[in-house]
Structure 1
Amino acid sequence: MPRHETSQQDQESQQEFRQAAAALGRRRLLTVTGAAAVLAFTTNLPGSAQAAEADARTAIGAEPFTLGVASGDPLPDSVVLWTRLAPKPYEPGGGLPKERITVEWEIAHDSRFRRVARKGTATAHPELNHAVHVEAGGLAADRVYYYRFRAGKWLSPVGRTRTAPAFGADLNELRLAAVSCQAYHHGYFTAHRHLAEEDVDLVFHLGDYLYEYAVDAHGGSRAYTDRELPAAFNKETVSLEDYRLRYALYKSDPDLMAAHAAHPFLVTWDDHETENNYADDIPEDGSSSEEFLVRRAAAYRAYWENLPLRKPQQPSGPDMQLYRRVRFGKLAQFDILDTRQYRSDQAYGDGWHQPGPESTDSSRTMTGSEQERWLIDGWRASDAVWNVVPQQVTFCERRSDSSDAYKLSMDAWDGAPASRERLLAGAETAGIKNLMVLTGDVHRAYAYDIKRDFGDQKSRTMGTEIVATSITSGKDGVDKPDNWQTYMDANPHMKFYNGHRGYVTVRLDKQQARADFRTVAVVTKPGAPVGTAASFVTEAGNQGLHEA
């Protein structure tokens, strides 16, 4: 993008521009207006000029823990604990004064807190919308803990979490779940209620935690008759306040709160946390990058505020390093990717298109070069039995039909096959024997064999891709979508395809991985039971899915 030439007379604006550009740490520069706006997101943080401190006993006049509690990013000796104070969650500022509030926290070995392991205080800053992130350390590895918060006379719900095993631990098994795509206006989060009851060690949220689209007074497909949502939700999210309020709407859902209280989450985003199908600094609607980066800064900040993430993930303006690595003993290495912030713009637009010179260009990337090197270097150093890559969009080739004129999704890895090829070559060179990719985005459940060459089905099977269906997005699903047979015929490496809502659980051990696709039939009405649509296994050292 060409540099924006500012007036030499406007020294104050020029200085502001330089400060914002430095804070962004990007190779592009913004217009003065855009830089000033992004600078506000970079500088309006707790610091030396902090807000006054309020007395929680008088500042909080009603229940402040309306959005529940959460935990995440477990390490062998620590875990992130999260909450947000919001007596009036559907109002800007949550019904609290613009003052700091001290919050007590404790984490214990038992749910009645008779054996407290650690405790302390944290500050809920108004600049961070009174969100609290506690990195509780000094914990024992591979242990279940219980935690809670106190603000004044108010006591939070109790959350359950667990630490990761020691880095060199000889772990026998690990149970995880993967979820994605939870459009509030498309139905009830019933699947999250069932997820809260699952026996899993951790949950991966693979993106689309919220949607930027308007939610009407009746909650869209939830069709509320006993209450009305405020008009503030009935518009697309653009500003920081918009995104903050939308998170308040989502996180006030009791089913989502139950899932967060039951399990530690490791999260990554896709597109709707900011805007549909954006790519790096390029928005969906073709507006300027300068405008979009201001919106992205707002979205990224609200994302960090509302999820259990560590300090290194705190954004600076429109930049936020979300890709990171988590080890669970010698059994599993998780390389969590970000395929939105650094990707090439979608070829031929962001829909389905026949592959061509634009999509097959060798320079195209889904991850950016730095993240790509980080992933491959991590594989080279890995001694884990399973190398698992939680990420956003479909990794395997997915042809629209069996004809020579087939189309591919330009928003998925099919739109950047050179980027996929570099990763597969890197995994091969690194000697990765058991590769599993966890995916969201498509509102369908899929199970794939990852072929070394998708054009040659006899080529080596390098791993498996397990695609979690949506929690609600797409509304009520069906067992076999209309294109079920077409897809199965066109993609022999596709072993499973289902259109219901739900999540997937995966059990890893030294001999095999087992994926259970857990689904509900209805989300436009609450309370649907959960069942297992199918189960697949792949053997360690002998990759390839077969039905259990």
Structure 2
Amino acid sequence: MGGQPASSNAAVLSAGTRFDHGVASGDPLPDGILLWTRVTPMTEAVPGSGLGPDVSVTWEVAEDSGFLRVAAKGTTITGAARDHTVKATPTGLRPSTIYWFRFRSGGVASPVGRTKTAPAAGVAIDRLRLGVVSCANLQAGFFTAYRHLADRGDLDVVLHLGDYLYEYGVGEYQARDVVVRPHDPTTEMITLEHYRRRHAQYKSDLDLQSLHAAVPVIVTWDDHESANDAWSEGAENHAEGAEGTWKARREASQQAYAEWMPVRYDVGGQLYRRFGFGDLASVSMLDLRSYRSEQAANMVSADISSPDRTITGTAQMDWLLDGFTQTDTQWKLVGNPVMIAPVRFPSTLSTAEIGGVQALLGTTTIDGVPYNVDQWDGYAADRSRVISHLRDHGVTDTVFLTGDIHSGWACDIPADPLTYPTTGTSVATELVCTSVTSDNLDDILGVPPRTASLAVETAFRTANPHVKYLDFDSHGFSVLEVTPAAVRMDWYVLSERTSPASTSSLSTSFRVAAGTQTVTAAL
């Protein structure tokens, strides 16, 4: 049935060349696109094995699905050194154009993919439609959200904001402690073989394959692509020594990511990057794991406002701020892996509710006050630089698109949370998509959806007047529509994440009118 993956190390099905992991495209430019696949040239060459010969792979890009009008083609060599993954970067394509692509090797053709180039710089664009997703844990459910996005047929691109896969072993993190689909390998990812096999397992999912074959993606990583709560020199879920060095583990995760993801990234390179869509919008994708200081967790004396602590690193911060003021596009969209809007914990929550929210948001308690230390809340000096820059330069129409915390939010980003909204102003907005499958608050509390969480949501909105919408329970995906008049986010929720036949339905919609820097309910 749709979505059920085959194990990446499953028994051999047949001899000969195979394209078991689908095709994908990503990082669209006005004149080019990145294409991806993985070829299995022989039965022994399973992902992570290090086995199999170097092979030649040809690729084609055409203006029609029958490949009668080929626009670009080429040949590349792949082998065990890159786990038999393939990337191609055709250029000379037309802007704002739908293309079809495929690969061939050993007389065998891959599935056909559909993609689209970006509009030319400066060209007037009336509409841009993006899918927005985050936090897809295979052990916690089926990827029906991806299938529903693929079936729409109206998306220009999909933003994946991180946690594309999870590092945990079987029984470590799943759906309300029920393993819906066991991870391969069964142990936690630590080595290059582990990361390659896990990427292969996720890419074996038919719903994920359908999304990648239907629309280009722009991705960034969060923490679980390497290990939970990763920072520049370690991670909460890494035991130095017992699990090797963090340097070796991080390099293994980054190598597998570079091999297996349709992204213009090579190990040691720069993942943060910016894309333009005519005069309408730019999309700046952040990397908030590679350069950040250690989280303040378990450091009672830590000063979360210290300018010596960073979530972006100096170079990325300068690049981000320059992008706000130097871009010629109207809307400045930011692919932001962790939440930037400030969040104050309500004082009215019970001990169980506080524990549930802390587990969901990755918070800790410092001097008796809960802080969202893995988000921008734990790096207040960097957030202040962003807010001050937007305010002082009069930057308008900045929208942060965020994942990570398995919940849906629509927020203003106030220049001063203490005076907002009485006298303070909002300098930007933030729209947070919920998880594809990963546990929400109702799962953590072990209660039915839309029961106990309702009171918690009300308490959070009361304590944080800049938060206009909050859903702690739902799983699904979002669709963002961008026009010169407004940005609108639609949240779609799944009927049952643990069912491969799950339906989806529109839950709510919020919009940001041009020039307002505030979110309002969309009618």
Settle same-fold status: TM greater than 0.5.
yes
The match for 1:474 is 439
Amino acid paired to 2:436: I
The match for 1:204 is 159
Q: Is 1:276 aligned to residue 228 of structure 2?
A: yes
> Aligned-pair distance for 1:479?
3.9
Q: Is 1:382 aligned to residue 340 of structure 2?
A: no
In structure 2, how many angstroms separate the alpha carbons of the residues matched to 1:143 and 1:120? 20
In structure 1, how many angstroms separate the alpha carbons of the residues matched to 2:111 and 2:282? 32
The match for 1:345 is 294
The match for 2:116 is 162
Amino acid paired to 2:377: D
Decide which of 308, 324, 329 is 2:278's aligned counterpart.
329
The match for 2:517 is 543
What does 1:495-534 correspond to in 2, within 5 Å?
Answer: 495-498=468-471, 499-534=473-508
Instruction: Confirm or deny: 8 A CA contact 2:45 2:52 kept in the other structure.
Output: no
Aligned residues: 474
SS of 1:136 mapped into structure 2: coil
Q: CA deviation digits over 1:52-102, x for unaligned, max 9?
A: xxxxxxxx9345211100000010000000001136899754778532111
The match for 1:493 is 466
Q: Runs of 4+ in structure 1 displaced over 6 angstroms?
A: 87-91
Instruction: Confirm or deny: 8 A CA contact 1:505 1:517 kept in the other structure.
Output: yes
Q: CA deviation digits over 1:116-165, x for unaligned, max 9?
A: 11111121222000110000111000111111111122111111110010
Moved more, 480-489 or 441-450: 480-489
What does 1:356-371 correspond to in 2, within 5 Å?
Answer: 358-371=303-316
The match for 2:93 is 139
Q: Is 1:464 aligned to residue 437 of structure 2?
A: no
Identity fraction in percent? 39
> Aligned-pair distance for 1:359?
1.1
Moved more, 424-433 or 396-405: 396-405
- Residues 245 and 147 (structure 1 numbering): CA distance in 2 closer, same or farther, change over 3 Å? same
> Aligned-pair distance for 1:357?
5.4
The match for 1:450 is 413
Decide which of 109, 114, 132 is 2:63's aligned counterpart.
109
Decide which of 382, 391, 396 is 2:341's aligned counterpart.
396
Instruction: Confirm or deny: 8 A CA contact 1:178 1:468 kept in the other structure.
Output: yes
In structure 2, how many angstroms separate the alpha carbons of the residues matched to 1:349 and 1:328? 43
The match for 1:297 is 251
SS of 1:407 mapped into structure 2: strand
In structure 2, how many angstroms separate the alpha carbons of the residues matched to 1:95 and 1:278? 27
- Residues 193 and 88 (structure 1 numbering): CA distance in 2 closer, same or farther, change over 3 Å? farther
SS of 1:71 mapped into structure 2: strand
In structure 2, how many angstroms separate the alpha carbons of the residues matched to 1:542 and 1:76? 30
Decide which of 57, 75, 86 is 1:121's aligned counterpart.
75
The match for 2:125 is 171
Amino acid paired to 2:493: T
Structure 1 gaps, min length 5: 1-59
SS of 2:253 mapped into structure 1: helix
> Aligned-pair distance for 1:365?
1.1
What does 1:10-89 correspond to in 2, within 5 Å?
Answer: 61-62=15-16, 64-86=18-40
What does 1:205-220 correspond to in 2, within 5 Å?
Answer: 205-215=160-170
In structure 2, how many angstroms separate the alpha carbons of the residues matched to 1:290 and 1:349? 23
In structure 2, how many angstroms separate the alpha carbons of the residues matched to 1:338 and 1:133? 21
Instruction: Confirm or deny: 8 A CA contact 1:90 1:248 kept in the other structure.
Output: no
Amino acid paired to 1:471: V
Instruction: Confirm or deny: 8 A CA contact 2:50 2:83 kept in the other structure.
Output: no
Computed over aligned residues only, the root mean square deviation of the Cα atoms, in angstroms, reads 2.4
The match for 1:27 is none
- Residues 96 and 273 (structure 1 numbering): CA distance in 2 closer, same or farther, change over 3 Å? closer
Q: CA deviation digits over 1:234-275, x for unaligned, max 9?
A: 100000000000001111000111111111011100001001
The match for 1:433 is 396
Q: CA deviation digits over 1:398-426, x for unaligned, max 9?
A: 12214796522111110111110001112
- Residues 66 and 92 (structure 1 numbering): CA distance in 2 closer, same or farther, change over 3 Å? closer
Amino acid paired to 2:221: W
TM-score by length of 2: 0.86
Instruction: Confirm or deny: 8 A CA contact 1:395 1:413 kept in the other structure.
Output: yes
SS of 1:293 mapped into structure 2: helix
The match for 1:12 is none
Instruction: Confirm or deny: 8 A CA contact 1:184 1:472 kept in the other structure.
Output: yes
Moved more, 503-512 or 377-386: 377-386
- Residues 73 and 531 (structure 1 numbering): CA distance in 2 closer, same or farther, change over 3 Å? same
Instruction: Confirm or deny: 8 A CA contact 2:488 2:511 kept in the other structure.
Output: yes
Instruction: Confirm or deny: 8 A CA contact 1:88 1:94 kept in the other structure.
Output: no
Instruction: Confirm or deny: 8 A CA contact 2:296 2:302 kept in the other structure.
Output: no
- Residues 89 and 496 (structure 1 numbering): CA distance in 2 closer, same or farther, change over 3 Å? farther
SS of 1:145 mapped into structure 2: strand
The match for 2:104 is 150
> Aligned-pair distance for 1:222?
5.8
SS of 2:131 mapped into structure 1: strand
Instruction: Confirm or deny: 8 A CA contact 2:133 2:435 kept in the other structure.
Output: yes
SS of 1:542 mapped into structure 2: coil
SS of 2:405 mapped into structure 1: coil
In structure 1, how many angstroms separate the alpha carbons of the residues matched to 2:45 and 2:70? 35
Structure 2 gaps, min length 5: 1-13, 349-366, 444-448
Instruction: Confirm or deny: 8 A CA contact 1:391 1:437 kept in the other structure.
Output: yes
- Residues 88 and 528 (structure 1 numbering): CA distance in 2 closer, same or farther, change over 3 Å? farther
Q: CA deviation digits over 1:388-445, x for unaligned, max 9?
A: 1101111101122147965221111101111100011122233311010011100111
In terms of fraction of residues, the more helix-rich structure is 1
SS of 1:426 mapped into structure 2: helix
Moved more, 423-432 or 68-77: 423-432
Q: CA deviation digits over 1:19-72, x for unaligned, max 9?
A: xxxxxxxxxxxxxxxxxxxxxxxxxxxxxxxxxxxxxxxxx9345211100000
Larger radius of gyration: 1
Amino acid paired to 1:259: L
Amino acid paired to 1:491: N
